[in-house]
Amino acid sequence: MVIDNMKALVTGALGQLGHDVCLEIGGSAIGIDIDELDITDKVATQEFIKKLRPDVIIHCAAYTAVDKAETEPELCHAVNVLGTQSIAEAAKSIDAKLLYLSTDYVYDGAQDHPYEISDTPNPLGVYGQTKLDGEKVIMGVLEKFFVVRTSWVFGANGGNFVKTMLRLGRENCAVRVVADQVGSPTYTRDLASLIFAMIRTENYGIYHATNEGYCSWYEFACRIFNTASMNVMVSPISTSEYPTVAIRPSNSRLSKKSLANAGFKLLPSWQDALERFIVESHQ
């Protein structure tokens, strides 16, 4: 069923994806961020949503500092689990749809093929665990939900790997990039288009949504410099040579069978997305 003139509330509207979701939906989108509403305040959150009465909530707001989450587990849980619960309960009270953005970090990356939505999650760190717990909260409270797991996001509004590589490439003639973690880069403009299509249906459930194709961070970096016509030497390194506080899944490949089975159009290739992003951002 298509909802005409639907009122859509977008949380995390100042983030990469929230920004593009608001642009994609247009005038009927109401974008909020922490300055307007702190989702860890349950009473304020539920009052705000019940007063606004949106037809759909696209919940992009999250605690996403993966490494910092290991030392701030309570705050990460408050935002990603308790905040999500408040939003889900409010959505149920007004019979609104809810689309929740989740992550490849719900998986441990141990298997050697792309993850299906039926594969058992096993997060390696606090961030992934809280996003998985957020999924469980939504599924326990609502029937009208979309859970969308994505990975390696880049967009115009905010920091990301592409912008970091372009900056490092301007500052240095050589960079070292991890080559033993594989996944799919995802352009927020493409993901926002899919989200807009999704919320206008009743095809509820769990989905994996990324741009098509897979690569390592090293291959991604090489393609970034090639696309931007920058002469930068990229050296592949192992994860062990670039230690981080939080463990990253080595295999973040997500199967998009669930999207295809529901009749949703798959996103363009990540190479095509990267080309458009670099042209559009005039980098």
Alpha-carbon span 102 to 62, nearest angstrom: 9
Q: CB burial class (10 A; 0-12, 13-18, 19+) of residue 173?
A: exposed
Instruction: Give residue for tokens 């939080």.
Output: 246
* Two structure tokens written together for 152: 């390696």
Positions annotated as catalytic residues are 127
The stretches of the chain forming alpha helices (DSSP H) are 16-25, 42-52, 73-77, 84-93, 126-141, 161-171, 188-199, 217-227, 257-261, 270-280
Strand partners, 102: 149
Compute the chain's Rg from CA coordinates. 18
Taking the chain, what is the end-to-end CA distance rounded to the nearest angstrom? 40
